[in-house]
Structure 1
Amino acid sequence: MLAEFLADKHLLLVLDNCEHVLACCGHLVARLLSAAARLSVLATSREPLGIPGEQLWPVPPLSVPPADGDAQVPEQSPEALVLFEHRASAVAPGFTVGQDNWLAVARLCRRLDGLPLAIELAAVRMPILSAEQMLERLEDRFALLTAGSRTALPRHQTLRATVDWSFELCSEPERALWARCSVFAGDFNLDAAERVCAGAGLATGEVFEAVSGLIDKSVLVRDECGHVVRYRILETIREYGRQRLEQAGDTAAVLRRHRDYYLHLAEQADVNVSGPRQYEWAERLRAERANMGAALDYCLTRCRQTTTPARPVRTTSSAGLGNNAPTSTRRWTTRAIP
């Protein structure tokens, strides 16, 4: 009946929030488009419908000030700060973003990844906390951002409920990958994901499809870096993954795999640092700087390992003062701190 009604119509049909009935929406839209030549459909969803003729238009987070931005209030505020000021002034009359609080609000919006719901939930806390105080409590953002509208859908009333909703829409391999890739700092490539995230419940051969699924669901963000595709995850999504990883009891094992992967990468770089591929390896290490730092931090804080010079070794040099002239060479060993 619907297809027959739309057959001669020239209109735009809007379907909002399709992700929880994705297959049904896909079949419906394909059927209607085949029946109505002048019909256009705008569907909002956390992943594509996956039908012929579909064109994707990703909706990015709101713009936020750059981390190294000037301390002065810009003439045109980024979108995230405009939303925060608008929502905060509704619950704290007279609130404005000015010179005295601009840096704190900017940092808060950056830490919230420019996500509109997270910013709204933070703004309604302004009668109780300042932006500076919220920054101090943001380590547990899911406990802080819980005061959503009573008239909103349950999954939009708290930040955790929203992310829970996304997590439940994932397959089991995708859930495992989401939790495990939370150990990465900054971005990472497919090889790192396969080496670090594969394990119990997620075979190496399943990582590729799980990455593809998380990109479709907007959990992972795809970036092109030269000829290599890398992936990153928003801090809010990463923090949720960390909590899921802790609940599964997998944190220690995945962190060890992360450490071992970047140790092996450093060893490869050491071999190639002065060869014909030195520029390639310099670029690779630059891209992996955040993860190398995270691996070192793990060694110094979790497993308490450090690299220290061993006792100097006496060797004989054939140059200089003669065959019996002693010189010292230094070896490096890794030991656990008691």
Structure 2
Amino acid sequence: MAGGGLLMLLDDITALLDDIAVMSKVAAGKSTAAVDDVATMTKVAMQKTAGVLGDDLALNAEKVTGVKANRELPVVWAVAKGSLWNKFILVPAALLISAFAPWLITPLLMVGGAFLCFEGVEKILSLFHKPGKQEAEAITAEFVEAEKEGVAPSSVRAAKEAAKAPVDYEKEKIKGAIRTDFILSAEIMAIALGTVSTKPIWEQALVLIAVALAITVFVYGLVAGIVRMDDVGEWLKAKSSSVARAFGRGLIASTPWLMRGLSIVGTAAMFLVGGSLLVHGIPFIEHWLHDAVTGAGTVVATVLPLLVHAGVGALIGAAVVACVHIWGAIRGKPAH
């Protein structure tokens, strides 16, 4: 009897182990499926945010231009760290808003859009307030002060116009880049959230975290590469190959033009991204635009939304600038 009881116990244990093995296999299959599902949703979210990613790249590359060469990578790293902190705030906030107050998403994005358009108008207005041609002595003095302060000569000039110390001006520039990143990141998180809004909260969290990390690495990795293009050019110029040397010279010659182009694209992106956020929150314009492009040709369907977004962004940005300047005048303080 004792032997029979032992055999029965062994059979029960064997059956239990078989059940555990089957359940483990099923659980592993479900886990793999869930991981695949998250990966697929992350890919879709990244594809939907591709346009904003391009604007994010242009804006951030433009924001770090004019920085002293040996400070470019530290500045990019400082902004990248700020961007990670932005994501650290935005991911939980997006999940909380999605769960408890989804109606808040559009108003918050509209506020961010208005701020981007405000910055765009301010930047354009600053082009009309450039100082006259400087004397050689003044230029030399700027270079001397820039070397002393460890900043770029352009930062010295801009700091004087803003009545700030050059180092403080550069710190403000970094903070401005982080603020802009916050708005663009918020839009990216909102778009990503829209692709997973029907999924369980843990899947939403995983997708948002994956998107946040991917866009930060992608954008700031490219920005770092762009701002150091001249160094790559110098490295290629030292090579023995005539092709490499020619390519290096081409990189060095094209870098200033690329930076200038990114500055223009970055300014345009402020109006396009900001305007699109604003239009999304103004139902009659959004509905009119939708009706206008429905059934239209590819060119009209592509160009018309860009023109409307830029136009709305410019108008609202100008209105915000006017309000800020009026408020500054009332308080007896400059708007900046």
Shared fold, TM over 0.5: no
Indicate the structure with greater strand content.
Answer: 1
Point out which structure has higher relative CO (alpha carbons under 8 A, 6+ apart): 2
Return the TM-score normalized by structure 2: 0.23
